[in-house]
């Protein structure tokens, strides 16, 4: 599948290479493949150090190095036949591939060392300027504004260097991945397992930029604030009484993680809880153990459906396994109509006391006995913690909650110390792991967590069924704004950019449980069917980081010998914390630049979210087979009732289809799209994409229900009831005021009005019961009435007309 871009109309359309293998692009069209993407993304500094993708591809097509033009062409293809790949060809290709690997690895190492040295030099320069600023005497000017501007420009240049290096690494890793895949496909020799070992010997793709990001963030914050960075308690959030807090979650493709971090650090510093300590990777590790009842999954369903009072219980620690302080946390969901906000409360407990506490052997009063003696917290705070500990302990013991799922990730948080108005966190390497003892396999045993793993990502010692690696990073934006106040402009630009994909109400606990327990969980979150959709998007507006003067070339191709196979799997460097950036965007955040053309690798892209796609969820209602299967397990009267219901539904659907086909009605006429619709939807066929849940499972789409919805249903029912009473009153009046001698026509009219009143009353009751049931179960149903009022008005008109006709005949008017 290819995406074709028309340079004249700027529209993109899908083209299937399988349906039309002889198709060739006409002039004015761009067909993007990895070769074009690589050439168009070349950074001037690195232009001689990229993988020679075209040369390696040519070696695969013409093993001997010369075109086999002398060979006779076949009648069918018109091309000379490929000769068999030999051992000499393999040795020559592997030698060149290793030479390319050495070239890329050396350049990456040299550039990484250069960046480290430049950061060290900048640290000394910033320290010198800050010392001069603090030690200036009375009457001296100290450092000038120009010095700070030069330092800021130098740091911006280093940030661009880190971005370019990350992009260079990602493109080359993708290039090696693709050329090896192409080699295995064309030659039949399996090079991938062998070359994986050679890649691990020169792991240019495993470079972790977290240390550089933390250092650059600290330096840039000092320079940006002109030597007066905001200080305060990193854990403090200030008073939140007069603020409204909004939290939104986004997915970030691994290609965009490094770029996203570099953009954010220009506005917010990395939040470091212990500035005096040198940054280590383990410091950013966060691990949580989620609890639930493995028989009923009460907490999972409650959090998924967002029912009032739904809880999530987890035990969390920061850093390595040897950490002694464990936090017991409870999240409680509150509906907006209650006037309360969702609450996350927690208390700290020593690791050695966790098992006795969970088993009920250690009471909450004993947990906080030492805290009371030390007097470091107020009695009120200790009493609240003790109450929380008692409630959590009661829930675990009473409802049989056990450890079911672990989440692990590295978190980079951006926030001004003691200022929680804007807080952004980015979680990478997100991994969910089973903690249960189901299926006769002891994982955690009698302990509160399993001990055969720690923070040793990627947890290669675990069997595949025990682990789920989330393919994206998770960005969480928390904003505290006063009433009527808008969030900062850069935040609005960030969340509207191509770098993020909004996923409201995403939950690590829900996703991990739904993924790791497919045999036990039948209700899936709404984002599960979209996990196979590539979330990368075109550059929507000028936002991001790019070095000025970077060369980019777009070219057309009509190379029929090229390979158009679609790589379903995404290429992400194994062991890399972020992946790296491979998207070209504008120069500096906030600076208008000419928008760059989207460069997409068509061999790698699985699906592209074009503007004309529509996503529909077809699995909220159970199919007849699923309902019958469920009723068959229950047995008895419930099965026969469900059987009759399904047969009646099937007959009604068939009858409705036949009636639609027989009844003459106006047919829709296709109207050609105007220029505006073509600019939005393109000229191609509008695609409709339906996501269906696996057999036996349902997708739960979040539905927000407030009390006024119940009241609206009641008001509608009372309105229909009032209408029915009016019609019934008319019927009684006609019946009572008719004479015995000539009352036959009036009796017929009164009967029509009476029947209409009864039917409207029954219809109102049925609709009210249906809507109430749908509201209680939070089902996505049609709450509007499409046909009822129209049919009622038509029936009323018919009854009035009937009465008019009979009354005219009785008075001998006609």
Measured between alpha carbons, how far is 192 from 185 in angstroms, rounded to an integer?
A: 11
Q: Are 213 and 260 in contact (CB under 8 A)?
A: no
Beta partners for residue 252, in sequence order: 473
Q: Are 68 and 80 in contact (CB under 8 A)?
A: yes
Q: Are 472 and 253 in contact (CB under 8 A)?
A: yes
- Residue 565, sorted as left (phi over 0), alpha (psi -120 to 50) or beta, turns out to be beta
Measured between alpha carbons, how far is 597 from 610 in angstroms, rounded to an integer?
A: 15
Query: Exposed, middle or buried, 25 (CB in 10 Å: 0-12/13-18/19+)?
Result: middle
Give the containing element (helix H, strand E) for 417: none
For every residue of 466-505, DSSP letters joined together read GEEE-SSEEEEEEEEE-TTPPPPHHHHHHHTSTT-EE-TT
Cβ contacts of 756 within 8 Å, gap of 6 or more: 727, 731, 792, 795, 796, 799
Q: Are 4 and 556 in contact (CB under 8 A)?
A: no
Catalytic choice (57, 111, 331, 508): 508
The 3-state DSSP class for residue 4 equals strand
Measured between alpha carbons, how far is 162 from 116 in angstroms, rounded to an integer?
A: 10
User: How many CA atoms, within 13 angstroms, populate the side-chain half-sphere of residue 791?
Assistant: 10
Tokens (6 digits) for 381: 């705070």
Tokens (6 digits) for 86: 């030999």
> Do the strands 244-252 and 473-481 form a parallel or antiparallel pair, or are they unpaired?
antiparallel
Q: Are 249 and 504 in contact (CB under 8 A)?
A: yes
Tokens (6 digits) for 148: 């700070």
Looking at residue 425, what DSSP letter applies? E
Measured between alpha carbons, how far is 85 from 96 in angstroms, rounded to an integer?
A: 16
Q: Are 712 and 773 in contact (CB under 8 A)?
A: no
Q: Tell me, yes or no, if 508 is annotated catalytic.
A: yes
3-state helix, strand, coil in the chain (%, to 5): 45, 15, 40
Measured between alpha carbons, how far is 714 from 764 in angstroms, rounded to an integer?
A: 10
Measured between alpha carbons, how far is 214 from 265 in angstroms, rounded to an integer?
A: 9
Length reported for the chain: 814
Q: How far is CA 731 from CA 725, 736, 757, 794, 802, in A?
A: 10, 9, 8, 17, 13
Query: Exposed, middle or buried, 10 (CB in 10 Å: 0-12/13-18/19+)?
Result: exposed
Angle of CA points 229, 230, 236, to nearest 5°: 150
Which residues are identified as catalytic?
508
């Amino acid at each position: 599948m290819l995406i074709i871009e028309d340079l004249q109309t700027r529209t993109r359309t899908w083209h299937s290479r399988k349906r039309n293998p002889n198709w060739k692009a006409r002039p004015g069209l761009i067909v993007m493949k990895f070769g074009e993407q690589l050439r168009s993304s070349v950074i001037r500094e690195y232009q001689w150090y990229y993988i020679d993708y075209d040369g390696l591809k040519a070696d695969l097509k013409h093993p001997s190095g010369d075109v086999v033009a002398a060979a006779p062409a076949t009648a069918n293809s018109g091309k000379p036949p490929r000769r068999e790949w030999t051992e000499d060809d393999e040795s020559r290709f592997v030698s060149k591939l290793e030479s390319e690997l050495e070239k890329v690895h050396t350049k990456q190492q040299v550039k990484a060392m250069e960046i480290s040295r430049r950061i060290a030099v900048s640290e000394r320069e910033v320290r010198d300027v800050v010392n001069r600023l603090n030690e200036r005497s009375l009457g001296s000017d100290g450092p000038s504004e120009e010095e700070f501007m030069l330092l800021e420009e130098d740091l911006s240049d280093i940030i661009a260097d880190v971005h370019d290096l990350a992009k260079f690494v990602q493109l080359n890793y993708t290039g090696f991945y693709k050329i090896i895949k192409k080699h295995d496909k064309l030659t039949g020799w399996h090079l991938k397992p062998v070359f994986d070992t050679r890649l691990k010997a020169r792991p240019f793709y495993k470079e972790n930029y977290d240390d550089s990001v933390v250092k650059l963030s600290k330096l840039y914050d000092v320079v940006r604030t002109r030597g007066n960075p905001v200080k305060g308690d990193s854990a403090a959030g200030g008073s939140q009484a007069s603020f409204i807090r909004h939290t939104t979650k986004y997915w970030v493709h691994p290609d965009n993680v490094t770029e996203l971090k570099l953009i954010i650090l220009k506005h917010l510093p990395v939040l470091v809880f212990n500035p005096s300590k040198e940054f280590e990777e383990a410091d950013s590790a966060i691990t949580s153990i989620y609890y639930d009842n493995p028989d009923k999954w009460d907490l999972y369903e409650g959090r998924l459906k967002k029912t009032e009072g739904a809880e999530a219980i987890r035990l969390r620690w920061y850093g390595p396994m040897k950490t002694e302080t464990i936090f017991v946390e409870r999240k409680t969901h509150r509906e907006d109509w209650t006037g309360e906000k969702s609450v996350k409360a927690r208390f700290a407990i020593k690791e050695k006391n966790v098992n006795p506490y969970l088993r009920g052997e250690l009471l909450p009063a004993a947990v906080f006995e030492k805290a009371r003696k030390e007097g470091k917290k107020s009695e009120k705070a200790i009493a609240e913690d003790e109450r929380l500990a008692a409630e959590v302990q009661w829930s675990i013991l009473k409802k049989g909650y056990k450890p079911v799922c672990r989440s692990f990730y590295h978190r980079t948080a951006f926030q001004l110390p003691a200022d929680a108005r804007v807080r952004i966190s980015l979680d990478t390497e997100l991994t969910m792991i089973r903690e249960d003892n189901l299926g006769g396999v002891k994982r955690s045993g009698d302990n509160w967590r399993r001990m055969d793993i720690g923070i040793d990502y990627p947890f290669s010692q675990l069997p595949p069924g025990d682990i789920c690696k989330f393919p994206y990073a998770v960005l969480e934006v928390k904003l505290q704004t006063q009433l009527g106040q808008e969030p900062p402009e850069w935040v609005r630009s960030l969340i509207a950019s191509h770098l993020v994909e909004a996923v409201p109400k995403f939950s690590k606990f829900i996703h991990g449980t739904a993924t790791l327990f497919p045999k036990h969980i039948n209700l899936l979150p709404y984002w599960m069917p979209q996990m196979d959709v590539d979330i990368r998007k075109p550059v929507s507006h000028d936002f991001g980081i790019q070095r000025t003067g970077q060369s980019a070339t777009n070219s057309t191709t009509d190379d029929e010998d090229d390979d158009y196979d679609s790589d379903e799997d995404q290429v992400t460097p194994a062991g890399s914390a972020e992946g790296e950036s491979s998207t070209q965007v504008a120069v500096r955040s906030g600076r208008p630049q000419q928008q760059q053309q989207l460069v997409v690798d068509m061999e790698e892209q699985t699906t592209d979210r074009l503007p004309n796609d529509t996503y529909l969820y077809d699995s909220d209602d159970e199919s007849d087979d699923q309902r019958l299967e469920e009723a068959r397990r229950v047995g008895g009267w419930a099965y026969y009732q469900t059987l009759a219901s399904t047969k009646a539904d099937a007959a009604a659907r068939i009858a409705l289809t036949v009636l639609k086909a027989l009844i003459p009605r106006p047919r829709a006429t296709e109207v050609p799209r105007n220029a505006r619709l073509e600019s939005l939807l393109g000229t191609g066929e509008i695609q409709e994409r339906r996501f269906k849940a696996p057999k036996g499972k349902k997708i739960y789409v979040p539905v927000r229900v407030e009390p006024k919805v119940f009241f609206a249903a009641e008001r509608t029912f009372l309105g229909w009831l009032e209408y029915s009473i009016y019609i019934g009153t008319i019927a009684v009046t006609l019946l009572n005021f008719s004479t015995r001698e000539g009352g036959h026509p009036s009796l017929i009219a009164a009967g029509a009005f009476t029947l209409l009143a009864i039917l409207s009353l029954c219809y109102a009751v049925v609709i009210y019961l249906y809507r109430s049931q749908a509201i209680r179960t939070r089902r996505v149903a049609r709450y509007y009435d499409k046909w009822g009022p129209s049919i009622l008005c038509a029936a009323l008109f018919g009854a009035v007309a009937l009465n008019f006709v009979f009354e005219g005949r009785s008075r001998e008017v006609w």
